[in-house]
Amino acid sequence: MSNLYRSAISARAAKLPVVLPTPSPSMDTAGVNEEDEDAEGEDSVGSLPGPGLGPPALPASRSSLLKRTPKVPNPKYAPISASGFFTEALQVAISSRDLDCRVYYTPPKFKDGTVMVCHHGAGYSGVSFACFAKEVTELSKGECGIISIDARRHGRTTSTDGNDGDLSVDVLVEDFCAIISSIYSDPASAPSLILVGHSMGGSVVTRSCPILQKSSYKIGGVAVLDVVEGSAVDALPHMNNLLNARPDGFDSMEEAIEWHVNTNTIQNPLSARVSIPSSIKHVEGALPPYQWRTPLRSTAPYWLSWFQGLSSSFLATRTARLLVLAGTDRLDKELMIGQMQGKFQMVVVPGVGHMLHEDDPTRLAEILVEFWKRNERVMVGIKKVGDL
């Protein structure tokens, strides 16, 4: 979480104010239809047809908002459908969790192919992996599939009982494992999975790994993107200062996208045009009318649970481990010792920010596909011809 840590310290110093199984009753593909997609607007995916931080600042007074002149939308930042990046979108009903989960999916070319399962960071959605997903498909020649989920209170995942406020890491882990078991009900026939998580999502996939392995799922590796426990925990006391500097809403979706690009929150305009619409919602009568879908300030009680204990959990996973950072972040003691002992692979991607999977999806795809080849395909081409 290098960029986030540096921003927090700066704020303090400045004193800022396979083919999926045949759909079962728990999997509803009918949820992705023309009517549904029309209602969703620009963040839809084809048939789909079609830091990690994104919270509002403290609300401005209504009178001041009424006086301001709305900004004219810039067509340069018009939303782009995710239909060209994933094959399909599914609504997966998780009755045990009272959730209706949005899942974006591109299947592997072969039945026994590997699938990367991606979990986004706080405030964003599964569509933040859209450009990355397309790059993985192309680089792996379709051998590696992608599943990217919307977590509870994010994107197009909704609660069926209206009670989805708890975002503690244990709840998110249970959600994630339930989604996997709903999609692949039989671990024996499920493909090998590589778990990929950005920021908050890195903590979720790391803690989910041993639970899925205990249920006999094949986990080919865990990849954590731009989060280190030490710097993340150190940054938390200063987060409210950072949030106060962010807008509480936007006049249009184009303005929301433009803000992310102009502030270098997302350095890749194409990715921002695809991903940001799923993080923003239109609220009739609100000023400004386009609001954050997941106000991060309201999740403050859960921040510590996301990151505390992450290093030990990461080092304890019994699979291949990869840490990808946006800068030469300081490692905490546990990770530093683990790195010296060769317990995990670490890659630093230069020239990107906290949203590294959006800033440079091509480079990250190269890293992950190489990680997959090294840990999943080492036996390819070896044929047993008989006992010695």
Model's pTM, two decimal places? 0.84
- Position 387 in a domain: no
Q: Which residues contact 308 (CB under 8 A, 6 or more apart)?
A: 229, 233
What per-residue confidence (pLDDT) applies to 12?
38
Asked if residue 282 belongs to a domain, the reply is yes
The residues annotated with a catalytic role in the active site are 199, 226, 354
* pLDDT for position 384: 37
The predicted structure's pLDDT at residue 358: 98
Residue 278's domain comprises 2-376
Q: How many CA atoms lie within 13 A of 22 on its CB side?
A: 0
* Domain assignment of residue 382, yes or no: no
Q: Is residue 60 part of a domain?
A: yes
pLDDT tens for the 388 residues of the chain, in order: 445 444 544 443 333 333 344 444 344 443 343 334 444 444 444 333 323 343 333 444 445 555 668 888 999 999 999 999 999 999 999 999 999 999 999 999 988 889 999 999 999 999 999 999 999 999 999 999 999 999 999 999 999 988 888 999 999 999 999 999 999 999 999 999 999 999 999 999 999 999 999 999 999 999 999 999 998 999 898 888 888 888 989 999 999 999 999 999 999 999 999 999 999 999 999 999 999 999 888 888 999 999 999 999 999 999 999 999 997 667 888 999 999 999 999 999 999 999 999 999 999 999 999 999 998 754 333 333 334 3
The answer to whether position 276 is within a domain reads: yes
Q: What is the largest distance, in Å, between two alpha-carbon atoms of the chain?
A: 85
Residue 288, preceding peptide bond in cis (omega within 30° of 0): yes
Length of the chain: 388
| pLDDT for 106 | 97
230 belongs to a structural domain: yes
Residues 6+ apart with CB under 8 A from 37: 44, 48, 49, 50
In the chain, the number of structural domains is: 1
Q: The domain that contains 308 carries what CATH number?
A: 3.40.50.1820
- Would you say residue 253 lies in a domain? yes
Task: Judge whether 237 lies within some domain.
Answer: yes
Residue 374 to residues 11, 137, 147, Cα–Cα distance (Å): 41, 17, 21
| Residue 3, pLDDT score | 52
**4 φ, ψ to 5°?**
-65, -45
